Amino acid sequence: MILKMKKEDLSAFLESAKEWGELWGPTRKGERVAFEKVETLSQMDLKATRTIIPPKKFLYPPRFTMFDYDDKGYVERTGDVPNRILFGIHPCDVHGIQIMDELFLEEYKDPYYAERREKTLLLGHSCIPDDKCMCFATDTEFIAEGFDLFFTDLKMFYLVWVGSSRGHDIVRMRPELFSRDIGKDDIMNYTEYRNWKSSQFTSKADFTGMPDIFELGYNSPVWEELAEKCLSCGQCTMACPTCNCYNVVDEVDLGTVEGTRDRFWDSCMFREYSLVAGGHNFRDSRADRLKLWYTHKLQAYIGEFGKPACVGCGRCVATCPVDINVVSVSKALKEQEVGK
Amino acid sequence: MSSPKIGFYGFTGCAGDQLMVLNCEDQLVDLFGATDIRSFAMAKSDNDDGELDVAFVEGSISTEGQLEHLKDIRKRSKVVVAIGTCACWGGPQAMKLEEGGYEERYKKVYGNAKIEVSKAFEAQPVDAFVKVEMKIPGCPIDKTEFLSAVTKVVAGRHPYFYSFPVCTECKWKENPCILTEGKFCAGPLTKAGCGAVCPSHNIPCVGCWGPTDDLNVSAEYNLLEEKGYDADEIIKKIKKFGGAVVAKMVKELSAKKNTKEGGK
């Protein structure tokens, strides 16, 4: 279902939606763009292209406690997650969450992810691409499902996609703000918007032939060259909307047998990640670790799920200090040369 | 089970790590309750030199007298834990390691003054002289990290320290990378654990936690050079807290660069 809403009514709508839960949206402080808890629409920066960290932080935080334990057993730390409305999520990030859902909710359901997912409402918003955006190359430029509501900004109006019954419930809090009266102009405006968005990309990303290029380039010397540049800082992994690996560690309270079991974001880019008991390391060299990350994103995932594990958000492009990212790596593999 | 006997000792450094231990005010009673603190000159007066389960050693080693004391601590302790960046890596006083010229620097500071105390030498981390089971870095150490480690050590368990650089914590704090802005940040070489305090206030990392487990000195060097910093400044800054580990890597890197240039 697609509805129409006046731009000036958004503020009132979000105010009412807060009855469902906390309102979170993209905020800007200098170059730092992050989803933060807000009270009003005016605190958000809806023109910001991307947050530093994707919304995965809501579904599984960088570090959190899974449960408390003592010598008798353990008590899960579930139940204390608040209801949250995330407003202003872009299509790439909704695609990212869909990939996270596949990993955390399907075969082995993760209770911590599941609870946060259940208590998070995704209200998407259309975006303005910049020079790092490459969703056109990963087919994630638009989104048809996975959100609760999606707002497409057509200057005077929003077209509002209702993507779930929960989304519909929120709409019904203020039914008078929405109309079903979609006319010829609206359709033309929407077509124009899509064409405009598609014309905005300047990134040179090109993932055609990617699974094959990775297979052909598996033993390429390009990986060694990339490894010489790589700082192993882990920023790419933390910023990637589909990276989901974590480590688990127990904390103990001093002088007791009580403590917590914590989980935090980990990265296959780190040497410790592939270190096993006895001291053997499956990917001791930096080149092997880089190869794993990129092969996973642009080859292996395609084989398993039929699409890349890259949603084209451009965060790896924005954050890597030495220009190692999905664009430069796929280009290097194709051209058999690491660019400057 | 009797409480584990532990001791705290300080060598060349600012004593900030021992102070940080005392600064764990809310947990101090628990710490004194869970352990039998046999020696802690900064905190109490009746100290003895008996057998220890765990010795916590702060500061780098820079005199013959300290070295003798350190060896004695090692001999009577089951586990030796280096606390703070000076003990773990050498600290700023070890920033000239692998460069030589100690005698001249010594003379520049002390001239021909007759020094009566123990003979001094180039400061080095504790593990340059004795076996160290564990390192808790930081300048000063972080309370949470210290307490987490101590709790596990006294319980006979293995503490966990982040193996990755502070950049990872910096991303957790949702900071844009200041290296991409062209600022001199030592984050990629520096062990996590501080919670990325400085970059979270837009101040570049100076590396005070010491080297991370898997650092790429040459990549950091090339990046900074590309950003317009000159070789001397880069080396001076990355060696400030890098201690013995980074000093060795920088020496290898310089040798490699020299051969390359010589071959041209």
Find all residues with CB under 8 Å of A154, minimum gap 6, and list them. Answer: A186, A189, A190, A193
Cβ-Cβ contacts under 8 Å, A251 against chain B: 148, 151
Pairing between strand A22-29 and A32-38?
Answer: antiparallel
Does residue A269 form part of some domain? yes
**Which one of B160, B164, B173, B183 makes the best mutation probe of the A interface by having the most chain A beta carbons within 10 Å?**
B164
pLDDT on residue A340: 67
Tell me how many residue pairs between chain A and chain B have CB atoms under 8 A apart: 108
**Which pLDDT band, with edges at 50, 70 and 90, does A250 fall under?**
very high
CATH (one of 3.40.50.300, 3.40.50.700, 3.20.20.220, 3.40.50.1820) for B5-154: 3.40.50.700
pLDDT on residue B91: 96
Cβ-Cβ contacts under 8 Å, A230 against chain B: 216, 219
Nearest to B191 by CA among B207, B174, B176: B207
pLDDT on residue A332: 95
Task: Give the DSSP letter of residue A45.
Answer: -
What digits encode the pLDDT tens for the residues A6-41? 999 999 999 999 999 999 999 999 999 999 999 999
What ranges make up the beta strands (E) of chain B?
Answer: 5-10, 36-40, 52-58, 61-63, 77-83, 120-124, 134-136
Q: Tell me which residue in A230, A254, A270 faces B219 most closely, judged by beta carbons.
A: A230
Q: Are residues A168 and A96 in the same domain?
A: yes
Q: Tell me which residue in A30, A234, A249 faces B167 most closely, judged by beta carbons.
A: A234
Cβ-Cβ contacts under 8 Å, A32 against chain B: 174-176
Range of the domain at A153: 2-60+73-199
Cβ-Cβ contacts under 8 Å, A233 against chain B: 164-165, 167-168, 187-188
- Average pLDDT score, chain A: 95
Q: Are residues A186 and A266 in the same domain?
A: no
What residues does each domain of chain B span?
5-154, 166-262
Whether residue A82 is predicted with pLDDT greater than 90 in this model: the reply is yes
Q: Which residues pair with A150 in a beta bridge?
A: A124, A161
- Contact call for residues B206 and B185 (beta carbons, < 8 A): no
Q: Are residues A194 and A93 in the same domain?
A: yes
Upstream peptide bond of B140 is cis (omega within 30 degrees of 0): yes
Q: Are residues A137 and A223 in the same domain?
A: no
Does residue A35 form part of some domain? yes
**Which one of B24, B214, B229 makes the best mutation probe of the A interface by having the most chain A beta carbons within 10 Å?**
B214
| Residue A316, min C-alpha distance to chain B (Å) | 11
- Choosing from A143, A165, A199, the residue where a domain stops is A199
Does residue A340 form part of some domain? no
Q: Is the minimum CB–CB distance between A70 and chain B shorter than 8 Å?
A: no
Cβ-Cβ contacts under 8 Å, B177 against chain A: 235, 319-321
A73 CB-contact burial (10 Å; exposed 0-12 / middle 13-18 / buried 19+): exposed
pLDDT on residue B112: 87
Q: Are residues A132 and A174 in the same domain?
A: yes
Residue of A nearest to B151 (CA): A254
Helix H or strand E encompassing A293? helix A286-295
What digits encode the pLDDT tens for the residues A303-320? 888 899 999 999 999 999
Q: Is the minimum CB–CB distance between A328 and chain B shorter than 8 Å?
A: no
Q: Are residues A182 and A264 in the same domain?
A: no
pLDDT on residue B70: 98
- Judge: B150–A272 Cβ closer than 8 Å, yes or no: no
Question: How many other CB atoms sit within 10 Å of the CB of residue B223?
Answer: 21
Task: Give the DSSP letter of residue B191.
Answer: B
Cβ-Cβ contacts under 8 Å, B170 against chain A: 235
Q: Are residues A139 and A166 in the same domain?
A: yes
| Residue B168, min C-alpha distance to chain A (Å) | 6
Nearest to A238 by CA among B252, B222, B187, B254: B187
Residue positions counted in chain B: 264
ipTM: 0.95
- Contact call for residues A312 and A92 (beta carbons, < 8 A): yes
Find all residues with CB under 8 Å of B126, minimum gap 6, and list them. Answer: B11, B57, B60, B61, B70, B80, B82, B87, B88, B132
Dig out the tokens for A124 from the structure.
């998407």
Q: Tell me which residue in B157, B165, B175 faces A234 most closely, judged by beta carbons.
A: B165
**Which one of B174, B218, B224, B253 makes the best mutation probe of the A interface by having the most chain A beta carbons within 10 Å?**
B174
Number of H helices, E strands in chain A: 14, 12
DSSP A264-276: EE--TTSGGGGB-
Q: Tell how far CA A287 is from the center of its chain.
A: 25
- Judge: B171–A235 Cβ closer than 8 Å, yes or no: yes
- Judge: B174–A53 Cβ closer than 8 Å, yes or no: yes
Greater confidence (A79 vs B227) lies with: B227
Q: Which residues pair with B135 in a beta bridge?
A: B82
Q: What's the maximum distance between 2 C-alpha atoms anywhere in chain A?
A: 72
Give per-residue burial for B159-178: e unless 16+ CB within 10 Å, then b.
Answer: bbbbbbbbbbbbbbbbbbbb
- Contact call for residues A66 and A249 (beta carbons, < 8 A): no
pLDDT on residue B154: 82
Does residue A68 form part of some domain? no
- Choosing from A176, A199, A222, the residue where a domain stops is A199
Looking at the 3D structure of chain A, how many domains does it have? 2
Nearest to B93 by CA among B66, B56, B114, B73: B66
Q: Are residues A177 and A267 in the same domain?
A: no
| Residue B42, min C-alpha distance to chain A (Å) | 22
Task: Write down the pTM of the prediction.
Answer: 0.95
**Which pLDDT band, with edges at 50, 70 and 90, does A78 fall under?**
confident
Does residue A130 form part of some domain? yes
CA distance A184 to B131: 79
**Which one of B142, B151, B168, B224 makes the best mutation probe of the A interface by having the most chain A beta carbons within 10 Å?**
B168
Does residue A297 form part of some domain? yes
- Contact call for residues B76 and B50 (beta carbons, < 8 A): yes
pLDDT on residue B263: 54
Q: Going residue by residue through chain B (264 aa), what tens digit of pLDDT does each one get?
A: 578 999 999 999 999 999 999 999 999 999 989 999 999 999 999 999 999 999 999 999 999 999 999 999 999 999 999 999 999 999 999 999 999 999 999 999 999 888 888 999 999 999 999 999 999 999 999 999 999 999 988 888 889 999 999 999 999 999 999 999 999 999 999 999 999 999 999 999 999 999 999 999 999 999 999 999 999 999 999 999 999 999 999 999 999 988 877 654
- Judge: A231–B188 Cβ closer than 8 Å, yes or no: yes
CA distance A250 to A238: 22
Cβ-Cβ contacts under 8 Å, A30 against chain B: 202
pLDDT on residue B155: 81
**Which one of A56, A233, A253, A289 makes the best mutation probe of the B interface by having the most chain B beta carbons within 10 Å?**
A233
Q: Could you say which residues from 268 to 287 on chain A have a Cβ atom under 8 Å away from some Cβ of chain B?
A: 270-272, 286
- Judge: B213–A272 Cβ closer than 8 Å, yes or no: yes
- Judge: A234–B218 Cβ closer than 8 Å, yes or no: no
- Choosing from A135, A166, A199, the residue where a domain stops is A199
Q: Is the minimum CB–CB distance between A62 and chain B shorter than 8 Å?
A: yes
Q: Are residues A195 and A253 in the same domain?
A: no
- Contact call for residues B40 and B106 (beta carbons, < 8 A): no
- Contact call for residues A2 and A144 (beta carbons, < 8 A): no
Cβ-Cβ contacts under 8 Å, A254 against chain B: 27, 30-31, 34, 147, 150-151
Q: Are residues A225 and A286 in the same domain?
A: yes
| Residue A285, min C-alpha distance to chain B (Å) | 10
Helix H or strand E encompassing A187? helix A184-199
